[in-house]
Amino acid sequence: METTTLPSCNTASLNPYTPNSGNPWNVSKVQHTFRRLGFGANSLAIDNALSLSPGAFIDSLVDSAVALPPTPAPFWGNYAISDFTDYTADNDQYIADWQLQTGNDIVSENLRGRLAFFWMNHFVTELETVFYSPFMYQYYNKMQTFALGNFREFTRAIGTDNMMLLYLNGFENTNNTPNENYARELFELFTMGEGNGYTQQDIVEASRALTGYNHWAEPGADIYFDSSTFDNNPKTIFGQMGNWDYDDVIDILFQQRGNLIASFICEKLYTFFVSPSVDATIRQNIIEPLAQTLIDNDFEMVPMLKQLFKSEHFYDERALGVVIKSPIDVIFNYVNEGSFFYDDTLMEAFLYYAGLMGQELYDPPDVSGWQRDETWINGSTLAGRWGLIELYIDFLFGNGHEQLLVDLARELSNDSTDPAFITEVVINHFMSKTLHTASDYVVATDIFKWEVPQNYYDSGTWNLNWSSAPLQVSLLLKHIAQMPEFQLK
């Protein structure tokens, strides 16, 4: 993601956030945390979080993510091509199955799902290029395994991942026919940033050290190292000469360029979790201290992540509602925050429509990944967001799940009979910030009232048990999805 150079309005520090009367620990801050560190939460999860201190809440989210085991391997997860019964049909089906599994994981796993999704957009591969289900699973397994682990060892593991070796041409990189593609992206996109801390000659020399991973027992089996295609001659990388191999490249990279790597990855995590706006002050006061924490902990990410997520800076009012939701955010947050029904068929539909809006799981547009934020919004994608929510609400309303809509309004309003109050609390539940003007709430209230005569509201006769209530709530929920504020988290 490209960061903006506009001055950041958030001047809060990395000191731990301590609630006080002027800056309380409240529903808005808990929702902010769930939206950034996961994909939203229902009111029960919010109430549970409010019973904890902010620090204890973050500890619970991070520690739970660390303890969560990877998704079990499918039976085909380590197939070679010869193991398939009908390769073309089976591979297509297994890919669809694993996209579905990944969607179900991400929507439900809070921080581990959110970070696995982040890393899929950092250590990028493209399904369109490597359309092979076992390698897809193995790649995802690394995203989960290292999601909150050691960034150096994550970087080491991904370079010999089967899908990555095919995607960035490591499989073609031999002593006789060197290919610089992976070495270039290792420096430029994965660790230091474009043109930052390396030369073209460093790329050339590193690519020679990365040779040898060009062999498999049969097509589709694990790719392994064989010295017969390894460049067994001295290489000079960042000024150090030796007969370096793959592990040496990673070790030298992190030893010689550790400060640059830490700053690069901390800034990328900051723009993902906090704000796309990064200026010199943010780099000095936020990014660099986070980078130092990462270095001090030998590139273990948990201490750095906890430092950021527990900070005054993360919880500052100016950090709320400044990130544009991705297509996946739009629908997954909606499902979780509403406690709405979904099954595998609906998840497949969610992922299909997200793909139409530019975010197909495992298939970003190129090696630099989805650029996020403003790139998600244009005339067609905005209409697509509205249409997706409308289709989903219509499905719930027309397929026996309309009571979920009423249950949401009843729970949030404590079974109120006041349409203005119900409208306000339902809107605020789905928004990072309250609406700009009181008139916005008035318009929404009128939509919620539908065609029920005003005297029934005035007399207190109307309530959420009325037969019209599911339709009324559905109209309000559709209206909410079209508000500009709904596009932000």
> Over the stretch 78-122, which tens digit does the pLDDT of each residue have?
999 999 999 999 999 999 999 999 999 999 999 999 999 999 999
pLDDT at 372: 80
Radius of gyration of the chain from its Cα atoms, rounded to whole angstroms: 25
Structure confidence at residue 374 as a pLDDT band (50, 70, 90) = confident
- What are the tokens at 309? 């997520």
Distance CA 30, CA 35 (A): 9
| Burial status of residue 450 (CB atoms within 10 A of its CB: 0-12, 13-18, 19 or more) | middle
pLDDT at residue 4 is higher than 70? no
pLDDT tens digits, one per residue of 379-426 = 889 999 999 999 999 999 999 999 999 999 999 999 999 999 999 999
pLDDT at 373: 80
pLDDT tens digits, one per residue of 189-221 = 999 999 999 999 999 999 999 999 999 999 999
Are 221 and 256 in a shared domain? yes
Three-state DSSP at 132 gives coil
Instruction: Look at residues 267, 294, 322 and tell me which one is the last residue of a structural domain.
Output: 322
Are 374 and 311 in a shared domain? no
Are 265 and 367 in a shared domain? no
Phi, psi of 49 (to 5 degrees): -65, -35
Instruction: Decide if 134 contacts 127 (C-beta within 8 A).
Output: no
Structure confidence at residue 3 as a pLDDT band (50, 70, 90) = low
Instruction: Look at residues 269, 291, 322 and tell me which one is the last residue of a structural domain.
Output: 322
Task: Give 46-71 as a DSSP string.
Answer: HHHHHTS-HHHHHHHHHHHHHHPPPP
Structure confidence at residue 6 as a pLDDT band (50, 70, 90) = low
pLDDT at residue 8 is higher than 90? no
Are 228 and 93 in a shared domain? yes
pLDDT tens digits, one per residue of 282-328 = 999 999 999 999 999 999 999 999 999 999 999 999 999 999 999 99
How many domains would you assign to the chain?
2
| CB-based contacts of 130, cutoff 8 Å, min separation 6 | 136, 163, 166, 167
Are 346 and 391 in a shared domain? yes
Helix axes 419-430, 438-449, angle to 10 degrees: 110
Burial 185-219 (b: 16+ CB within 10 A, else e): bbbbbbbbbeeebbeeebbbbbbbbbbbbbebeee
pLDDT tens digits, one per residue of 316-359 = 999 999 999 999 999 999 999 999 999 999 999 999 999 999 99
Are 350 and 311 in a shared domain? no
pLDDT at residue 464 is higher than 60? yes
pLDDT at residue 170 is higher than 60? yes
Are 207 and 285 in a shared domain? yes
Task: Give 384-426 as a DSSP string.
Answer: HHHHHHHHHHHHHHHTT-HHHHHHHHHHHHTS---HHHHHHHH
Q: What is the mean pLDDT of the segment spanning 12-21?
A: 97
Instruction: Look at residues 293, 322, 351 and tell me which one is the last residue of a structural domain.
Output: 322
Are 117 and 170 in a shared domain? yes
Q: What is the mean pLDDT of the segment spanning 133-145?
A: 99
Residue 383 per-residue DSSP state: H
Are 38 and 169 in a shared domain? yes
Are 317 and 333 in a shared domain? no
Range of the domain at 470: 327-487
Are 311 and 366 in a shared domain? no
pLDDT at 375: 87
Distance CA 158, CA 163 (A): 9
Structure confidence at residue 1 as a pLDDT band (50, 70, 90) = very low
Are 406 and 478 in a shared domain? yes
Average pLDDT taken over every residue of the chain: 97
Q: What is the mean pLDDT of the segment spanning 361-374?
A: 93
